[in-house]
Structure 1
Amino acid sequence: MSSPTTATDAQLARWERFRAGRHTALATEHGWLTLTSFQWLESDPAQVELAPGLWSTDGSTAFLSASAADGLTLVQTGEPVDGTVSAVLQDEDSLMWVQYGGDDGQQVVVELAMRADKYAIRTRDNSSPVLTEFHGVPSYDYNPEWVIQGRFEAYEEPRDVPIGTANPLVDGVHRSVGEVVFRVPGVPHEIRLHAEEEKLGALNVTFHDETNGATTDEWRKVFIPKPRPDGSVVIDFNRSINYPSAFTPYGTCPMPVRGNSIDVRVEAGEKLPQD
């Protein structure tokens, strides 16, 4: 970037609160740091790794058969699974379905998920060392020069753009509602990045930059507050964060839209997680 700019105490305090909240959110029970497997369900009832019972799907419905001795209970009701239970999801939906293990019978939660119109399960184990040994995500020091003024150019209608995901067997769709447009020093042209809409009109931008694979993960995302009435936005790249796939091989996180790249090193926000 250009000549250094000094952060104010208020800016640093807000950023530190953001980082603390981020770490708290990551370190939750049965959160992203607890994923220990991702397995597709087959048509014939079969055992799976790390979870008791027999699991299957007929394409539209998922089935689990178990006896009371397996120790599985339904997450939502606590009722033991003794026989066959079923669940139906829409594509991209997930359900924290059953749990087992530990002193309270809740150490591991099995998440049912539908990805690419196929059923899969993911085990979420609170004893995973990724969680128990978590001490925060490394990040660049706060740099006020990476608080960028830009504008949002909304599309008349959202556009569904095919994308890849962190799982090569799962394709994704990015619902672009418009483009965030801005400039950064060292790049002669305007940067244009597809954006998705979040709650309350905020935007989510998934992007590549020149730090990827060196000091940062292969891609990151940044949330942008709701655009002002004139379309202007403030993009704080100090708040760029990793997707769950940076912490676990069992994520199906969306990749950036082709061309959602910044042609410089964005030395702000989260770095690669520590081993």
Structure 2
Amino acid sequence: MTTVTPTDSDTFTRDWADWHRRREEALSDPHGFLAVTGLHWLTPQPQRFPDAPGQWHTDENVVVVTLGDGEAITVAGRRVTGRHTFGPIAERGGGVVGVDGGVVEIARRGGRDILRPRRPDHPLRVAHRGTPAYPPTPQWVLTGRYVPFDVPRPTTVGAAVEGLEHVYDAPGRIEFALDGLPLSLTAFDGIAPGSLSVLFTDTTAGVTTYPAVRSLAVAAPDEHGLVTLDFNRATNLPCAYTDFATCPLPPAENRLPVAVEAGEKLPYERQSPSAQS
């Protein structure tokens, strides 16, 4: 196994603990994914939902809400009543509006408009007690080589929601070795310019980690194309916690035939009572 060994193990563990704490803070945000109360797919037919004011529908690539007597939403700090139009909304785009007791996310996923109300008092958020994880260890900090494709490859992947697909442009793959076994992962663009993002599973999936997907952020390659794969920071996507997420799944080639015993484990929310004892 090729590893990058930190010179100070205390610093390594402390840095991981700080990262894990920030992850939990973001996850537990009052309007984060643990606060989502429903996933509603909009149609041309106006619909009313139990966790959002008004009637909602799509109309030629825009989202329309019609608010009844006594109903209001807050859009960009302004109180709105009656009829209001949003959009058009870009694929994987969206925004939130304020409602009494929380917010409502309006977004577009898989070519369809969705509504996701979020309330800080949602039981899933209130009861959340952190995400279990493997203890961090330098042995899971690996060196890889980024191999760019001649042109980005449109890659279709499944989603946590049955019947939904996502299409991402894959700029290249990351090659690495684990205990002498050559492996590779198709990479997508990350959040920061030049950075990469990897969706994967391994043989711990469904045993100690979430079955469908984990994610790993990878900093931009250096001038030699080398990257660091710190699997200690492998994370769950929102679908690991809630059924109201539309997370992408890994491409088939990213299902690793090895056990990556590092990073975040199966959330308590998905564990059986006997597994939590």
11-20 or 47-56, which deviates more? 47-56
* Cα deviation, residue 141, structure 1: 0.6
Query: Structure 2 CA distance, aligned partners of 1:151 and 1:117?
Result: 34
Instruction: Render the CA deviation track for 1:190-217: whole Å, top value 9, x for unaligned.
Output: 1110111221311111101001011111
Query: Structure 1 CA distance, aligned partners of 2:75 and 2:268?
Result: 32
* Cα deviation, residue 140, structure 1: 0.4
* Cα deviation, residue 68, structure 1: 5.0
Q: Which residue of 2 aligns with 1:221?
A: 215
Look up the equivalent residue of 2:126 and give its one-letter code.
T
Look up the equivalent residue of 1:121 and give its one-letter code.
L
* Cα deviation, residue 95, structure 1: 1.6
Q: Does 1:95 align with 2:88?
A: no
Query: Structure 1 CA distance, aligned partners of 2:75 and 2:265?
Result: 34
Query: Structure 2 CA distance, aligned partners of 1:137 and 1:179?
Result: 29
The structure 1 residue matched to 2:136, chosen from 124, 127, 142, is 142
Q: Which residue of 2 aligns with 1:175?
A: 169
Query: Structure 2 CA distance, aligned partners of 1:119 and 1:18?
Result: 33
What's the C-alpha RMSD, in Å, of the aligned pairs? Answer: 1.8
Instruction: Render the CA deviation track for 1:38-78: whole Å, top value 9, x for unaligned.
Output: 111121222123112111112411110013512x2224123
Q: Which residue of 1 aligns with 2:39?
A: 38
Query: Structure 2 CA distance, aligned partners of 1:99 and 1:47?
Result: 17
* Cα deviation, residue 156, structure 1: 2.4
Instruction: Render the CA deviation track for 1:116-153: whole Å, top value 9, x for unaligned.
Output: 22211111111112211222110001121111111111
146-155 or 53-62, which deviates more? 53-62
Look up the equivalent residue of 1:39 and give its one-letter code.
H
Query: Structure 1 CA distance, aligned partners of 2:90 and 2:228?
Result: 35
Q: Does 1:192 align with 2:184?
A: yes
Q: Which residue of 1 aligns with 2:274?
A: none
Q: Secondary structure at the match of 1:262?
A: coil
Give the alignment of 1:58-207 within 5 angstroms: 58-67=59-68, 69-70=70-71, 72-79=72-79, 81-88=80-87, 89-96=89-96, 98-101=97-100, 107-185=101-179, 188=181, 190-198=182-190, 199-207=192-200
Q: Are the structure 2 counterparts of residues 59 and 168 from structure 1 closer, same or farther at C-alpha, using a change threshold of 3 Å?
A: farther
Q: Secondary structure at the match of 2:22?
A: helix
* Cα deviation, residue 231, structure 1: 0.7
Q: Which residue of 2 aligns with 1:54?
A: 55
Q: Does 1:245 align with 2:244?
A: no
Look up the equivalent residue of 2:91 and give its one-letter code.
D
Q: Which residue of 2 aligns with 1:104?
A: none
* Cα deviation, residue 265, structure 1: 1.0
Q: Does 1:257 align with 2:258?
A: no
Q: Kindly report structure 1 stretches of 4+ aligned residues shifted beyond 6 Å.
A: none
Look up the equivalent residue of 1:208 and give its one-letter code.
T
Kindly indicate whether the alpha-carbon contact (under 8 Å) linking 1:239 and 1:269 is maintained by their aligned counterparts in 2. yes
Q: How does the TM-score come out when normalised to structure 1? A: 0.90
Look up the equivalent residue of 1:31 and give its one-letter code.
G
Q: Which residue of 1 aligns with 2:29?
A: 28
Query: Structure 2 CA distance, aligned partners of 1:18 and 1:261?
Result: 25
Query: Structure 2 CA distance, aligned partners of 1:127 and 1:63?
Result: 27
Query: Structure 2 CA distance, aligned partners of 1:232 and 1:46?
Result: 51
Instruction: Render the CA deviation track for 1:80-104: whole Å, top value 9, x for unaligned.
Output: x3210011112221121x3222xxx
Query: Structure 1 CA distance, aligned partners of 2:189 and 2:106?
Result: 26
Q: Which runs of 5+ in 2 are unaligned?
A: 270-277
Look up the equivalent residue of 1:254 and give its one-letter code.
P
Tell me how many residue pairs correspond in the alignment: 263
81-90 or 204-213, which deviates more? 81-90
Q: Which runs of 5+ in 1 are unaligned?
A: 102-106
Instruction: Render the CA deviation track for 1:231-250: whole Å, top value 9, x for unaligned.
Output: 11111000000001101101
Percent pairwise identity: 32
